[in-house]
Amino acid sequence: MIKKLLLFFVFFSVLTANAQYTPVINSNRPGFSESPYSVGSGVYQFESSIFYRKINATPTFSNPEALGLNLFFRTSFISEKLEVNLNTSLQKDKIAFKNIFESSYNKTGLSHFSIGAKYLIYAPKYDDKSKEIRSWKARHSFDWKRWIPHIGISAGLNIGDFLTDYHKRDGFSPRVGLLLQNEFSDKLNVITNLHYDYIGTDFSQLSYIVTGTYNFNDYWSGFAEIQGIFEEYEKKTNIGAGAAYLFSENLQFNASLRANMKQDEIGLYTSLGVSYRLNRHQDKFVEIDEFGNKIEEEKQVKYDEDRNFFGRMFSKVGKLFSKKREQKVDLDISKNTDDDVLNQKPRRERQGSLVDVIAKEDKKLKKKTAKEEKKAAKKAQKKAEKEAKRKEKERLKLEKQIKKEQEKEAKEKEKERLKLEKEIKKLEEEIKKEEQKEKEDQEKDDN
């Protein structure tokens, strides 16, 4: 049943590229990134996960350990391209203070609460290679249009008044984001997010997320993800991987494992989640042709309807007096001279061979492909040369910097050596003076 639904989804997505709704649940979990597509009208989707995070405590106050439940609610109305969502987390935090000694206490409450919306502003159309019958190479070649991403924008509001003390960030603060998605094949897609969060507060942050997802079969998929968060005083990086299992068209299970890198510490983040949707979507029937284009009834327009009032009137009057022309065929062949009959040669038009037409088209396509490959190779060579020059420039710069540091270090060592020799010489002079003084005292005692 699920396999049939997935096949229907692939066919449906080709025919209706602008639709947001999919017969099979489309969840963002277990990744942190967001697709530019909405869930579709009439869908109420819940994406939840239980997570655990642990990292070593840093000096002063920190949150080295947390156990919680995250809930991400999504729905769509008004427009298929518009989605409204709510994101919140309930968690138990370990708040630690580390100076000479380490002390800690636990705090339970909401750590995050935000409402937002996203809108798909551009969805590219890709070529259907399966319909290419003239060239095997063209049918199996990569469609470079797939580098053009689907583009969406998002905006939201963070609410921090009722969060726990450690997670409060100046009450209300807006956030904006750019959502990109590249579908490189039917199995591989890459999502890129750029976010500017907590705008106008002392805790504003810029972040990026890049997620690659690969569908192994109709049920299992895996992902790899990297996230970077840039704040005023620190930088955080998350690298993770995970898997998702499609249990039914409305239910998905997922799990993930991540490494959190903060300052000089490396921590652990793991999660188990489930995504479920209530499907109340109703499709509007649209008649389409074999190419996926909407069929619109064309009104038959008569020739007279394009004329003005007087044109139509004179046309009708003319039809009353008009007669059909009688075509007469002269069967008398005596008028034709013998020379005309002899000079008339039978003619026949040669119909073009379908094989020749396909061969010519294939030859043109091969020339075009060879030209593009040559152009791509030339471009790659230029790029490689440019990269080699850049690396050589960096190497020379690094060598110069190392040489400069070595010279500086040598000068410092020479300076320290001269200083040490000066101190040794001074010490020797003092020793000589003391010996001379002792000698003089000895002579006085002898006298």
How far, in Å, CA of 108 to CA of 95, rounded? 10
| Terminal-to-terminal C-alpha distance of the chain | 124
Query: What's the whole-number mean pLDDT along residues 132-154?
Result: 78
Q: What confidence category does residue 367 fall into, taking pLDDT thresholds of 50, 70 and 90? A: confident
Residue type at 414 in one-letter notation: E
Instruction: Check if the beta carbon of residue 221 is closer than 8 Å to that of residue 25.
Output: no
> Tokens in use for 344?
């008339």
SS3 for 255-289, per residue?
A: EEEEEEEECCEEEEEEEEEEEEEEECCCCCCCCEC
Residue type at 74 in one-letter notation: R
How far, in Å, CA of 198 to CA of 178, rounded? 15
> What's the full length of the chain, in residues?
447
Residue 287 lies in a domain: no
Nearest to 270 by CA among 242, 235, 310: 242
> Tokens in use for 221?
């998929």
How far, in Å, CA of 348 to CA of 354, rounded? 18
How far, in Å, CA of 396 to CA of 376, rounded? 30
Query: What's the whole-number mean pLDDT along residues 415-428?
Result: 89
Question: Which residues, in sequence order, are CB contacts of 109 under 8 Å at separation 6+?
Answer: 90, 91, 163, 164
| CATH code assigned at 261 | 2.40.160.40
Residue 194 lies in a domain: yes
Helix, strand or coil, per DSSP, at residue 346: coil
How far, in Å, CA of 230 to CA of 156, rounded? 19
Eight-class DSSP state of 164: -
Instruction: Check if the beta carbon of residue 190 is closer than 8 Å to that of residue 184.
Output: yes
How far, in Å, CA of 27 to CA of 211, rounded? 13
Question: For the segment 219-235, what is each residue's pLDDT rounded down to a tens digit?
Answer: 999 999 999 999 988 89
Taking residue 161's Cβ as centre, other Cβ atoms within 10 Å add up to 9
Stretch among 120-134, 195-209, 403-417, 423-437 having the lowest mean pLDDT: 120-134
Instruction: Check if the beta carbon of residue 268 is closer than 8 Å to that of residue 261.
Output: no
How far, in Å, CA of 42 to CA of 128, rounded? 30
Stretch among 13-17, 264-268, 312-316, 436-440 having the lowest mean pLDDT: 13-17
The pLDDT of residue 364 is 83
Residue 222 lies in a domain: yes
Instruction: Check if the beta carbon of residue 47 is closer than 8 Å to that of residue 35.
Output: no
Residue 220 lies in a domain: yes
> Tokens in use for 358?
């396909």
pTM here is 0.58
Query: What's the whole-number mean pLDDT along residues 416-441?
Result: 88
The pLDDT of residue 85 is 96
Residues of the chain above pLDDT 90, percent = 39
Residue 409 lies in a domain: no
Instruction: Check if the beta carbon of residue 38 is closer than 8 Å to that of residue 20.
Output: yes
Residue 303 lies in a domain: no
Q: What confidence category does residue 60 fall into, taking pLDDT thresholds of 50, 70 and 90? A: confident
Instruction: Check if the beta carbon of residue 265 is closer than 8 Å to that of residue 237.
Output: no
Residue 328 lies in a domain: no
Has residue 139 got a pLDDT over 70? Answer: no
The pLDDT of residue 250 is 93
Q: What confidence category does residue 160 fall into, taking pLDDT thresholds of 50, 70 and 90? A: confident
How far, in Å, CA of 304 to CA of 311, rounded? 8
Nearest to 201 by CA among 232, 170, 156, 163: 170
> Tokens in use for 369?
């492909």
Please give the mean pLDDT across all residues of the chain: 81
Residue type at 139 in one-letter notation: R
Q: Which domain holds residue 31?
A: 2-279
Question: Pick the residue with more confidence: 49 or 5?
Answer: 49
Residue 47 lies in a domain: yes
How far, in Å, CA of 10 to CA of 169, rounded? 43
Domains in the chain, number: 1
Instruction: Check if the beta carbon of residue 368 is closer than 8 Å to that of residue 137.
Output: no
The pLDDT of residue 14 is 34
